[in-house]
Amino acid sequence: MKKILLLLAALFATSGAQAIDLLSAYRDALGYDAQISAARAALGAGREKLPQGRAGLLPLVNLSASSAWNDIEYKARTDPPSENKVKYNSNGWSVSLSQPLFRWQNWESYKQAELAVVQAEAQYELARQDLTLRLAQAYFDVLLAEETLASAQAQKKAIEEQLASAKRNFEVGTATITDTHEAQARFDLTTAQEIAATNDLQVKRESLRTIIGKEAAAIKTLKPAAQIVRPQPDDIKQWVSSAETNNLAVQLGRAGLEIASREIQKQRAGHYPTLDLVATRGRNSQSDTLSVGRILPGSDTDVTTVGVQLAIPLFAGGAIASRDREAASMREKASADLDNARRSAALAARQAYLGVTSGLSQVKALEQALVSSQSALDSNKLGYEVGVRINIDVLNAQQQLYATRRDLAKARFDTLIAQLRLKASAGTLNEDDITAVNGLLE
């Protein structure tokens, strides 16, 4: 029975420690990350700008009603004075309608609302792309930290074997105490590096958990034979041109410039006349009136009016002209912001493209360096055994091998991140790109 319970516990532990991949982590992040949740709420709020702007073009209908008790006392200044008291209840209601016929500022506000929705959607897409990059960076940071720890542990084990060999050789008199001290120093240094790598891995896992909302005890790593392809199209000019047009920050800047331009027209409309269709329908009722002991009959009055109302602004203390100048200055600012967004997008595209191409070259070089480092280590081990190499040569070769292995992993991860950044700079980064990278994982 005890063996069965232990087996079940092992199965549950294995199930709970199932490795996650980049795509599943991305989908978890979409539902958990606080920044994307805030952006989603901001998108919902931004979309409400459209019905608010449309409201200025639609009729305005108001209903009002009143009821009052009236107790009126008249005192005539005569000789002798005379008094008259009147008491009655009055009620009334009215419905009024106002339909704008010509209000240019309302039309401009409506067009601004359409652009505000475009801005809100672009801002959400920008937040989603930012989440994609933050997640990919956090994911690959964990993989790199795992590789660093694994390299430190493997190097520690290899140095431990070399230390034991140095001690044996010293005991039999075929090596000096120097070999033992050198191996011991490298072993102690690697132990410290292992502690630091363990701590760094825990920090990187916590950073990933902050984004996806779950503990990532195991995540899938890159396939050993994973091939990272060059950017398509493989032309930096095309990527720069696409970034200057389609980058989300550029889209936001274009919408902001259009809103600022329409704000000028909106403020200038303060000089224009307005024309509205107005209509009212109401009733005033008065109850029987008690006056000087007599009761006068009540009355009902129905009123209906339909017409147009024209308003022509003449002078507003210079406020309209001032707001016009303010809007013109804000348009200049929006134009400068758009130029800055285009230049920043072009720079980001160039940097990302060069990051991918140089990263691919670096990966190729490090793959060859890894083969050479392994050969160098094997040669130094053999030379140490036959007495033509000393212990420090083997230790240096081991260090070079594990450093090259770590650098190769980092180069691969950095190249993949650069690919995603390149897509983001062009405004095309989406879930398909995450799926493509996910296909390179084991």
Query: Which residue would you say has higher pLDDT here, 187 or 283?
Result: 283
Q: Are residues 181 and 258 in the same domain?
A: yes
Lowest mean pLDDT among 54-63, 296-305, 344-353: 296-305
- Give pLDDT, residue 83: 73
Q: Are residues 267 and 134 in the same domain?
A: yes
Question: Across all residues in the chain, what is the average pLDDT?
Answer: 89
CA 357 to chain centre: 27
The arithmetic mean of pLDDT across residues 63-86, rounded, is 80
Give the rounded percent of residues in the chain with a pLDDT score beyond 70: 93
Please tell me the distance from the alpha carbon of residue 336 to that of residue 253, in angstroms, as a whole number: 9
Do residues 414 and 293 share a domain? no
Q: How many domains does the chain have?
A: 2
Closest CA to 138 of 267, 14, 28, 4: 28
Look at residues 257, 289, 312 and tell me which one is the last residue of a structural domain.
312
Q: Are residues 287 and 332 in the same domain?
A: no
239 lies in the same domain as 346: yes
Band of residue 383 on the pLDDT scale cut at 50, 70, 90: confident
Asked if 299 and 343 sit in the same domain, the reply is: no
Q: Is the pLDDT of residue 175 over 70?
A: no
Q: Which two tokens stand for residue 34?
A: 């606080």
Give tens-digit pLDDT for 24-37.
999 999 999 999 99
Give the pLDDT of residue 146.
Answer: 94
Give the end of a domain, one of 288, 312, 336.
312
Identify the pLDDT of residue 388: 76
What DSSP string runs through 329-344? Answer: HHHHHHHHHHHHHHHH
Residue 415 has a pLDDT of: 96
Mean pLDDT of 39-47: 97
Give whichever of 165-169, 213-217, 327-331 has the largest mean pLDDT. Answer: 327-331
Is 3 contained in some domain?
Answer: no
Q: What is the pLDDT of residue 317?
A: 87
In this prediction, residues 240-269 reach a mean pLDDT of: 95
* CATH number, residue 416: 1.20.1600.10
User: Pick from 258, 284, 312: which residue ends a domain?
Assistant: 312
Range of the domain at 80: 61-102+274-312
Q: Are residues 297 and 434 in the same domain?
A: no
239 vs 419: CA distance, rounded Å: 12
Query: Is the same domain home to 182 and 256?
Result: yes
Q: Is the Cβ–Cβ distance between 75 and 35 less than 8 Å?
A: no
For 264-313, write each residue's pLDDT tens digit: 999 999 999 999 999 999 998 887 676 655 676 778 889 999 999 999 99
- Is the pLDDT at 7 greater than 60? The verdict is no
Residue 318 lies in a domain: no
Residue 431: per-residue pLDDT: 94
Q: For residue 409, which phi and psi values (nearest 5 degrees)?
A: -60, -45
410 in any annotated domain: yes
Which pLDDT score, from 0 to 100, does residue 11 have? Answer: 42
The encoded tokens of residue 77 equal: 């200044």
Inside any domain, residue 5: no
Per-residue pLDDT at 293: 58
Average pLDDT score over residue span 241-267: 96
pLDDT in tens, 391-413: 778 888 888 988 999 999 999 99
pLDDT(248) > 80: yes
